[in-house]
């Protein structure tokens, strides 16, 4: 059994550890925990490790957020993995910070990375882990907020939240999506 885990984010030091790059940060912790490492590959930084007899292929697209679908399509086809065996890690403005929602499918909810994946795959039928970043920004400052760094208070909570996400990814590959949603969604 093979799985594709996709951490969404933007490449470049100016985007490192911003709210929009939480997908990259979660993927980094997952890969590090299992003693693997990323190497540059086609359209993405790529890592592979085995977990309980299953192959976990992890990518961080290097196509920038708005073109994430190109990397996703390539890796799904190259690895011959069905989209239902993929989990996309993404930030979500509509969800309060500290809350995590794992879903089997859904709209892009205004997220450009998901929008591009939906357009290129021609489907919204793939699991995603939405990491709440909240929407505590003044009117007209959404881009600055999303591409901004975490507050000190958020930084203190991030390690535990990311650990929870990593555990939910492991559960997704071991006990399936339905049970993972029941156990790991933080409401």
Residue 59's SS3 state is strand
Nearest residue to 31 via CA among 7, 58, 52, 68: 58
Residues of 50-73 as b/e, b for ≥16 C-beta within 10 angstroms? Answer: eeeeeebbbbbbbbbbebbbbbbb
Active-site residue 17, yes or no?
no
Task: Please tell me which residue in 17, 20, 57, 164 is annotated as part of the active site.
Answer: 20
Contact 8, 23 (CB under 8 A): yes
- What distance in Å separates the CA atoms of residue 6 and residue 117, rounded to the nearest whole number? 11
Instruction: Tell me which DSSP letter residue 54 carries.
Output: E
- What distance in Å separates the CA atoms of residue 162 and residue 25, rounded to the nearest whole number? 8
Residue 45 contacts by C-beta under 8 Å, 6 or more apart in sequence?
Answer: 38, 39, 59, 60, 62
Q: What is the DSSP pairing of strand 128-132 with strand 86-92?
A: parallel
Alpha carbons within 13 angstroms on the beta-carbon side of residue 50 total 4
- Catalytic residue positions, numbered: 20
């Amino acid at each position: 059994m093979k799985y594709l885990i996709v951490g969404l984010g933007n490449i470049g030091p100016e985007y490192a550890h911003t709210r929009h790059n939480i997908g990259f940060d979660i993927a980094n912790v997952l890969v590090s925990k299992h003693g693997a490492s990323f190497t540059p590959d086609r359209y993405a930084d790529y890592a592979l490790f085995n977990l309980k007899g299953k192959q976990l292929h992890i990518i961080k697209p290097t196509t920038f957020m708005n073109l994430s679908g190109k990397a996703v399509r390539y890796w799904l086809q190259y690895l011959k993995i069905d989209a239902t065996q993929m989990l996309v890690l993404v930030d979500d403005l509509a969800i309060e910070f500290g809350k995590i929602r794992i879903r089997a499918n859904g709209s892009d909810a205004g997220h450009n990375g998901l929008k591009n994946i939906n357009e290129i795959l021609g489907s919204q039928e793939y699991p995603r882990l939405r990491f709440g970043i909240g929407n505590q920004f003044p009117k007209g400052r959404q881009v600055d907020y999303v591409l901004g760094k975490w507050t000190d208070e958020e930084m203190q909570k991030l390690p535990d939240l990311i650990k929870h996400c990593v555990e939910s990814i492991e559960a997704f590959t071991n006990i399936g999506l339905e049970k993972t949603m029941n156990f790991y969604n933080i409401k």
